[in-house]
Chains A and B, each alone.
Chain A
Amino acid sequence: MNVSSTSLAPGRVRARARSGRRGRRSAVLLFALPALVLYTVFTIGPMASVFVVSTREWTSIISPSSFVGLANYKRMLADDVFWQACINTLIQLAAIIPVMLPLSFMLAYYLTRKPAGHQVLRVILFTPALISLAAKSMIFLAIFAPSGLFNAVLSAVGLADFELPWLADPHTALVTVIAVELWGGIGYTAVLFAARLGSIDPEVFEAAQLDGAGHLRQIWQIAYPIARDYFGVLTMLEFVGVLFSSAGTILLLTRGGPGYASTTLSYLVYSKAFLTFQIGYSQAVGVVLFVLGVLGIVVIRRAFRTES
C-alpha cells in the first residue's frame, strides 16, 4: 500500500495536502466517484468474490451454482496436478526473480555510465515492451519449433545432438517458458533501474572511483543502497507479475504440457475455469495464489525495509 510513498517524494505531497490552502472543498471529491465506482465494480468486486466463488460449484458455465463449502479445497489438496503446479510456480519464481533483478540492475548501471552506443542499446532494450503477449508467444513458437531457429543454431555450431522439441519435451517445456519470460524482462527492468540510477549525483561515483572502488563494488555498495527502495518495489512488482501472469504465455506456448510439465498455478486457474469448467476449483487455486501473493509482498517489503 505504501508503494507510491516509497518511490515518490511523499513529504512534499503530504505537506501540500495538509497545508489546507485549498481546504474545505471535499465536495470536489464527487468527481472521483465515477472512477471509484468503475474500479470497484470491475476489479475490486470480482477480486473479492474469488473467495465466494471458491466455495461454490457450477455444473456448466451458464447454470446456477450451489454452495459446496470446502469441497473444492479438499479436491485441490488431493490433486497431484495442483502440487505439480505449486512446484512449477516455485521453480519459475526461483529462476526468474534472483536472475532478472540483479542482472537488470547491473545492466542499468552499465547504461548510466553512458558507454558508446548506450542510446542505441536503450532503444533495443525497450522494444520487447511494445510486443504483445500473443505476438511474442508466436515468435517463440516458431523459434523453439522442432525445426525452428534455435535448433538450427545448435546444429550450425555443432551441437546437433542437443536438438530438442523444446516446448514439447517434458524436461524442457517449463524452462523454455521461463526463458521466454526472461527474454525481454531483463532489458525492460534495466531501463527502469537506469532511470532511477540516473538521478544519483555522479559525484558519488567519482568519489568512490578515487577511493579505488571497482565497478562491481560501485554497483553493490554504492548504487544499490541508494536505490534499495526502488529495488524493493520492482522486486515486488516482478514477483506479483510472475506469480499471477504466466497463464497467457503458457496457454499460447505449451497449454501447460506436455502432461502437466509446464502447468503453473496461474495457468491452472485459467485451465480449470475455461478448459474443464471446474470454476469453483479454479478459484480455490486463485485463493492460494492470492495468499502466496500477499505473503510474498510482506516478505519482500521486510527484506527491503531500510533501517531507520
Chain B
Amino acid sequence: MARTKSRTRLSPVSHILAWAYGLLLVIPLYFLVISSFKDNTEIFSEPFALPRSWLPDNFVAAWETAVLGPGLLNSALITGGAELVSILVAVPAAFAIARSTGVLSALTERFFAAGLLIPAFAALVPTMLLAIAVGLFQTREFLVLFLAASVMPLSVLLLTQFMRTIPPELEESASMDGAGTGRILMSIYAPLTMPGIATVLILNFLTFWNEYLFTLSLLGPDVTLRTSQVALPGLVSQGYTEYGILLAGCLITMVPVYLVYILLQRHVEGALLQGAIKS
C-alpha cells in the first residue's frame, strides 16, 4: 500500500484487499445456502454451481434427523426465560447505580466492569458442579439462571449509561408528588430507558440463542431438553456425513437470528457496537 499520488483517494491495492476479504466472508455463506439444496456428489463435483433443484428435501431430513422442532422450542424457551430474568434483574441494578452516590455505588459499578473481562468459560466446570450440587443439573431452569447471570456485567453497565442521561429534575418533581423509589423506577426510568432496554435485549438474544458449550455441558444431549444449537452437530456422523442436510440444519437454526436482523438491522448493529465499545 504505497502512498497514493492523489491526496484523498485510497490506493487500488487497499480496495482490492478490503473487497477480497469481503468476498472471503461471503463465499462460505453462499456455499452454505446453495449446498443446503444439494447432495454430497453435487456439493463436491460442482461446489459453486447453483443447485439442480430447489427441493426442500434436505431441510425436511435435517428437521427430522436432528429433531429440530423440539430443539427450536427449547431454544426459544431458554432464550425467552433468560431474557426475562436478565432484564428484570439488570434494570433495577442499573437504576440503583445510576441514581445513588457514594463508595458502594462506585464499587458495584467497578465490580461489574471487572466482570466484563472475565470469560464465562473459566467457570464452566465448577458451574456444572454447582448445578449437580443444587439438584438442577440438566434442567432448563438452571441454564436460564446461569445465562442471565453471565450477561449481567454488560447489561447492567449499558443500562446504567442510558439511565445517567435522564435528567434528575424529572425524578425530583416525581418524588415531590410523593412517588416512592419503586414507582420512580417503573414510571420514569424504565420507560425512558426503552432504547437501552431494546439494545440489551437484542444483544442478549444473540448470546442466548447462539450459546453452545455451556448449553451442551449443563443441559446434556437429551433430545427433549437440548437446544437447536446442541442438536445441530448431531447431523455429523462418524461414518458418512450428508453435508447438504447438515447445512440445511444450519440454515434452519439461523432463521430466527436473521429474521431479527432483517427486521431490526440498524438496532442490531447499534447493539453490537455499543456492547463492544462500552466495554
Contacts and interface: CB of A to CB of B under 8 A. Distances in A.
A43 B118 contact: yes
Contacts of B96: 28-32
A236 B92 CA distance: 30
B19 interface: yes
B131 to A, nearest CB: 10
A44 B174 CA distance: 37
Interface stretch (A71-79, A90-98, A118-126, A169-177): A118-126
B125 A282 contact: yes
Among A42, A106, A297, the one with the most B-chain Cβ atoms within 10 Å of its Cβ is A42
A263 interface: no
A183 to B, nearest CB: 7
Interface residues of A, number: 113
Interface in A237-252: 237, 240-241, 243-245, 247-248, 251-252
Contacts of B272: 126, 129
Nearest to B119: A244
B156 A134 contact: no
A269 B171 CA distance: 50
B277 A7 contact: yes
B152 A32 contact: no
A125 B92 contact: no
A195 interface: yes
B4 A43 contact: no
B210 A38 contact: no
Q: Which of A28, A140, A234, A297 has the most CB of B within 10 A?
A: A28
B153 interface: yes
Interface string A265-288: 010011001100001001100100
Contacts of A22: 99-101, 168, 171
Interface in B17-44: 18-19, 21-22, 24-29, 31-32, 35, 43-44
22 contacts: A1-B117, A4-B116, A17-B101, A28-B95, A29-B96, A32-B156, A35-B89, A36-B93, A39-B153, A43-B115, A53-B125, A107-B21, A132-B253, A134-B210, A139-B31, A143-B31, A145-B241, A145-B243, A196-B277, A234-B276, A283-B126, A286-B125
